[in-house]
Amino acid sequence: MVLTAIPVGFVAGLFGIGGGLITVPFLYYIFGKLGIDQAYIMHLAVGTSFAIIIPTSIVSVLTHHKFNSVDFNVVKSYGFFVVAGVVLGTIFAATFKTKSLVLFFAIVIFLLGIYLLTIKEKEQNVISEMKLYLKIILGAIVGFISAITGIGGAVMNVPILKFFGYSINKAIGSAAAIGFLIALFGATGFFISGSYLKTNLPFSIGFLNVPAFLIFIPITTFMARLGARTAHKIDKNKISKLLAIFLLAVAIKFFYEYIKL
């Protein structure tokens, strides 16, 4: 777990993704090796991932904020509808089987990777206003998908904010802030749903594994700060392409896991 936490924190800060894209797959494998009930492995990985993202995203946001790369206006106005989607998603996730969650995760990540691989960074970024109906629709979708897959939503919010004219750095910083809201409500939702189902998983409260949380936190928060600083030293186009390649690799691995289940 210690070795896993190092890249999780760094990538979280670099891409503003909260780390769930790495945390969920690794926790899924770790919990599987520990012999945890197969029916709840993915749920436990997702819930624990959210808990880990909370402090990690705080560090990431504070670091990006120092570089003036967080638009708190869009975080407040758009983030409200994202949270609504998260609440709805946590309710539905509790009823899904692990195999369904794995397939859903793989499809979403694959499509986002393709999008980021093909989109080009604009020479000049002219921010256009996001209409209310788009905030409601996109926010609900992002929140719902994030809740089911255990991610901070930045893999969707970064492309969305880029579409509306934000630079890659501004999109990453703002997405990290929205990711904090997603993680907070997501972790709460999985804690409640796991407790309600009385899963009684080892060393866990609800769908949150305590040892994994305590091991990851000090390492991911430190590495997130380094990752966020690095993001402002790398070429904008390279950041987008690196994130795209990373997403595609994760998606392919999870498609393989789905086939094996």
Q: For the residues 21-37, what does the mean pLDDT come to?
A: 84
100: exposed, middle or buried (C-beta count within 10 Å: 0-12, 13-18, 19+)?
A: middle
**Distance (Å, whole) CA 236 – CA 70:** 16
At residue 194, the 3 state secondary structure works out as helix
Q: What is the pLDDT of residues 232-246, one digit of tens each?
A: 777 766 777 777 887
Q: For the residues 147-160, what does the mean pLDDT come to?
A: 80
Res 126 pLDDT > 70: no
pLDDT for 60 equals 82
What pTM value is reported for the model? Answer: 0.79
pLDDT for 16 equals 60
Residue ranges of the alpha helices (H) in 34-153? 41-66, 72-93, 98-118, 132-149
Q: What is the pLDDT of residues 178-230, one digit of tens each?
A: 989 999 999 999 999 889 888 889 899 999 999 999 988 888 888 877 877 88
pLDDT for 57 equals 83
Phi, psi of 16 (to 5 degrees): 70, 25
Helix or strand run (H / E) with residue 24: helix 20-33
pLDDT for 160 equals 87
113: exposed, middle or buried (C-beta count within 10 Å: 0-12, 13-18, 19+)?
A: buried
- Name the region of 28 (left: φ>0; alpha: ψ -120 to 50; beta: rest): alpha
Q: What is the pLDDT of residues 77-102, one digit of tens each?
A: 999 999 999 999 888 877 777 788 77
pLDDT for 1 equals 65
Res 18 pLDDT > 80: no
Structure tokens at 27: 């926790």
Q: For the residues 71-77, what does the mean pLDDT come to?
A: 91
Phi, psi of 244 (to 5 degrees): -60, -45
Q: For the residues 131-140, what does the mean pLDDT come to?
A: 92
Q: Which residues contact 31 (CB under 8 A, 6 or more apart)?
A: 41, 44, 45, 209
